Structure 1
Amino acid sequence: MTSYAEELARDIRAGLSSGQKQIPSKYFYDERGSRLFEEICRLPEYYPTRTEMAILEEHAGAIMEPFTAGDLVEMGSGANWKICRLLDAAAQPHGAGIRYVPLDVSESALQAAAEELIRMYGGLEVLGIVADFTRNLDRIPDDADRLITLFGGTIGNFTDAEAAELLEGVSALMRRGDRFLIGMDTVKDTDLLEAAYNDARGITAAFNKNVLNVVNRELCATFDLDLFDHVAFYNETSDQIEMHLAARQAMAVEIAALDMVVEFENGETIHTEISRKFSRERAIRIFEDAGLAPQRWFTDENGWFSLVELVRR
């Protein structure tokens, strides 16, 4: 199995050698990046988390009602806010009868979240898996009924081809009785969308730039964060937010661990993230193409965000 270090090295070499330089957004989430994202989730401009949380608070009982025991799987786990809403609504108190199975590339974030949950829910069993869920779905146990979750509109961080591959992978591992709960951000007003990724306090900018800290630390690179600007905008043609880091001047960055020097022109960008927004019609097509069928659709009164319960067709 490829290690985190090997995967990072491969992704950075390929991404920074391409015509449009890029770094996969999964590398945002080291310990500092996870803390910054928790701050983002509390910002007034950032509607997705509070909207998804409100949906969970209203519908957690209905979501958990069929799930009396088994594995509660979280792909790309982070802060425990959302999982706690489901655990609080479980049939048995204190997490009894449930094994929480989080998958995350950050071992430190995974351990901290698991330890907190064990303190909060005395009957909960936790099986943390340090893994990239886009490549390691086969590591999810299959010895119990499963409620698999992918929160936060994470599916929007993937291209069409990547999203199709991921959803097909989840569909392939699901058995009769398993359910898949997925969060999806919706198409809405451009000003509202762009404000969510350009907050007044600059927390999203710090979060975006932190990916360069990861590369510096893990691959002995020489990125100067002060020489890059955070750029985020809504691409209406593709129905997606795009985040970039734009070079403020021409420069050369050494990545010693890769024996590599990366040249930047003034204004050249590193593409760090997309966040696609979905209409219901488009989402249904994507699900059906992957062999998944929507069972229930939970949304807020404004229609800003949706949680969709899926089963295998």
Structure 2
Amino acid sequence: MNLHAAALAQTHPFDEQTSGFAGDVIGDLSQFPKRLSPKYFYDAAGSELFEQITVLPEYYPTRTELGILRSRGDEIAATIPKGAALVEFGAGATTKVRLLLERCDFSAYVPVDISGDFLNAQASGLRKDFPDLGVYPVAADFTAPFDLPAEIADQPKVGFFPGSTLGNFEPHEARAFLHSARDILGEGAQMIIGVDLEKNERVLYDAYNDAAGVTAKFNLNVLVRINRELGGNFDVSAFMHRSVYNRERHRIEMHLISKRAQSVRILGRNFSFRPGESIHTESSYKYSLDRFAVLARESGWSVRESWTDRDQMFSVHALVASD
């Protein structure tokens, strides 16, 4: 660690979360090709930008999934045991979970996310609106094992994983997450999960390259965060956003492209970039209904029911743990 990094550590001591961020950034930028984990998009600024993305005309997943949850809410509720505890992996804005809480007879809600302050703020609002619901936030990395609150030990468990977040995992990571979720939820587990579907490539391209440039700002913000939290010296204007569809792998890829030859310093480490060199920041896999059913089966789950919108842009699935 150089003098700058040491001074940064003294004035802004790294907690466990920031140390993990630092380790991942150094490790990922040391790879070839370079990459950064998409989980680091979501600082306060990134979360706000993503909320802006969800209402863009080009970005179909959020409004389409909300439409499915509204129109098929009674059918979804019919798959869920009364008095169950709902465990949301990677809890964000409460718009989607409220649709479930309004239709289903849940006794408890457990939002899980790495940001404790954000969770507590969201939990306060839900307690006011659902006074009979036990709300027990858990600050944890939902991709790793964690303990559920003792208050729900005797209740049936239903996981909730909305959005297209599963698509951000590589297939082996998606299987590992689904296995882990099954173990965390325990015997008789169920899960409600959102999965983005394969579709016209132009629709996909437009969704990740919006005309207003909000997705570009969202992508570039991870460099701003590295500068702020890890003392990096990225010239953000020297990188550009690019999203492309990888037909062979059924995924949209987001990249940050270096506009010129340059060197960046982070915590005493230098990282060189060639003109046109990429940092791969996110993949978003798109599934067919059949390919997702296979993935679920390989991960210890069976698909009980599936729902899509009229144009089959997005899907919501009710899973049950396999024997």
1:110-129, Cα deviation, whole Å (9 max, x unpaired): 23322332332223332222
Structure 1 CA distance for aligned equivalents of residues 18 and 147 of structure 2 = 19
Show structure 1 runs of 4+ deviating over 6 A.
Answer: none
When structure 1 is superposed on structure 2, of 271-280 and 109-118 the one drifting more is 109-118
Structure 2 CA distance for aligned equivalents of residues 116 and 214 of structure 1 = 28
**Which of 123, 128, 136 lines up with 1:119 in the alignment?**
128
Q: Secondary structure at the match of 1:243?
A: strand
* Cα pair 1:168 1:290 within 8 Å, conserved: yes
Match of 1:84 in 2: 98
Tell me which amino acid in the other structure corresponds to 1:84: R
Deviation at 1:283, TM superposition (A): 0.8
Cα 1:198–1:149, aligned 2, differ >3 Å: closer, same or farther? same
Percent identity at matched positions?
38
**Which of 122, 147, 171 lines up with 1:139 in the alignment?**
147
* Cα pair 2:188 2:321 within 8 Å, conserved: no
Give 1:149-168 correspondences, 5 Å limit.
149-168=160-179
* Cα pair 2:77 2:100 within 8 Å, conserved: yes
Q: Secondary structure at the match of 1:139?
A: coil
**Matched pairs, number:** 304
* Cα pair 1:31 1:106 within 8 Å, conserved: no
Q: Secondary structure at the match of 2:146?
A: helix
Give the TM-score of the pair, scaled to structure 1. Answer: 0.92
Q: Secondary structure at the match of 2:241?
A: strand
Structure 2 CA distance for aligned equivalents of residues 125 and 290 of structure 1 = 30
Match of 1:262 in 2: 271
**Larger radius of gyration between Structure 1 and Structure 2:** 2
Cα 1:226–1:119, aligned 2, differ >3 Å: closer, same or farther? farther
Structure 2 CA distance for aligned equivalents of residues 214 and 105 of structure 1 = 16
**Which of 38, 44, 49 lines up with 2:51 in the alignment?**
38
Deviation at 1:22, TM superposition (A): 0.8
When structure 1 is superposed on structure 2, of 141-150 and 205-214 the one drifting more is 141-150
Structure 1 CA distance for aligned equivalents of residues 252 and 143 of structure 2 = 21
Ranges in structure 1 where 5+ consecutive residues have no aligned partner: 92-96
Give the TM-score of the pair, scaled to structure 2. Answer: 0.89
1:75-103, Cα deviation, whole Å (9 max, x unpaired): 11111110011111133xxxxx6322111
Q: Secondary structure at the match of 1:4?
A: helix
Match of 1:94 in 2: none
1:247-298, Cα deviation, whole Å (9 max, x unpaired): 1111111113xx2121111111111100000011211111111121110111
Structure 1 CA distance for aligned equivalents of residues 115 and 235 of structure 2 = 23
**Which of 245, 252, 271 lines up with 2:280 in the alignment?**
271
Tell me which amino acid in the other structure corresponds to 1:140: L
Ranges in structure 2 where 5+ consecutive residues have no aligned partner: 1-14
Q: Secondary structure at the match of 1:270?
A: strand
